[in-house]
Amino acid sequence: MRCAGIDIGSRAIKLVVLRNGVLEDQRLSDSGFDPLAEARRLLGGVSYDRILATGYGRTLFEVAFEAPTVTEIKAHGAGARHCFPDAVNVLDIGGQDSKAIALNPAGRVVKFEMNDRCAAGTGKFLEIMARSLGFNLEEFGREALKAENGLQINSMCTVFAESEVTSLVARGMGRREIALGLHQSIVKRAAGMLNRVATGNAPVVFSGGVARNPCLRQLLKTQLKREVWVADNPQFTGALGAALLAEAT
């Protein structure tokens, strides 16, 4: 039995295929301006018996492919629990939104909070801020870690923050110090959301593509005063969860 999970995010599409519970294939592609076309391309040559969609574009996929869907909350909860069987707290920072999730001992979602009203503190925000400072996204976190102190960033609105960063650069402030300040602002916002739903002092599974950022991982651990667990390929957590839930149906 082959079961697939596809996570159609605002920035990237992730596909995971399980064969009898074992990972057989995983693929990733930019969402682009036509996510459905990219999804079709990503699925090219892939064999599966069941597929479950999640993510930002799951409704479009449901209509076009006549496939069932699952919320990102449930998908990331299932994926995180598979990677870390003791997980009860999950933080997912995606391209356009952030989610804090609490699981019970059986792995069911019992509480969550979601920021989906603006792109503040998300992957898109990081992408724009990195570009404003002349970094690519991969080096942004690494360079921020090299700063001794972060500069205070007063706005988390993407438009105003970009203007504030431009002003700081014009005043001769260090790029690394600005970058660290941006990361600190993101972590403060994410930690506040997580602390409102988290279970006890248990570790947090950090999922989503943004979890690859080393500065955010380190700052989260310090801010939360708890362990932060990150899977080898955290960007696939939602797709993995969808595939696991497809197996369970």
Per-residue pLDDT tens digits for 139-150: 999 999 999 999
Residue ranges, CATH 3.30.420.40, the chain:
1-84+233-249, 88-230
- Report d(CA 156, CA 49) in Å as an integer: 44
The pLDDT, as a whole number, for residue 50 is 97
CATH topology of domain 1-84+233-249: Nucleotidyltransferase; domain 5 (3.30.420)
3-class SS of residue 223: helix
What letter represents residue 110's amino acid? V
The pLDDT, as a whole number, for residue 116 is 61
DSSP letter at 69 equals B
Per-residue pLDDT tens digits for 201-231: 899 999 999 999 999 999 999 999 999 999 9
pTM: 0.93
Radius of gyration of the chain (CA): 18
Q: Please, which pLDDT band fits residue 118 given cuts at 50, 70 and 90?
A: low
Count Cβ atoms below 10 Å from residue 140 Cβ, excluding itself: 23
- Report d(CA 10, CA 244) in Å as an integer: 22
Contact criterion met (CB below 8 Å) for 57 and 31: yes
Contact criterion met (CB below 8 Å) for 61 and 69: yes
- Report d(CA 77, CA 152) in Å as an integer: 33
Q: Does domain 88-230 have CATH number 3.30.420.40?
A: yes
- Residue pointed to by tokens 């950022």: 213
First and final CA of the chain: distance in angstroms?
12
Nearest residue to 56 via CA among 26, 94, 91, 90: 94
Q: Give the DSSP H or E segment for 137.
A: helix 137-144
Nearest residue to 76 via CA among 50, 100, 51: 100
Count Cβ atoms below 10 Å from residue 136 Cβ, excluding itself: 10
Residue 167 has pLDDT above 70, yes or no: yes
The pLDDT, as a whole number, for residue 119 is 64
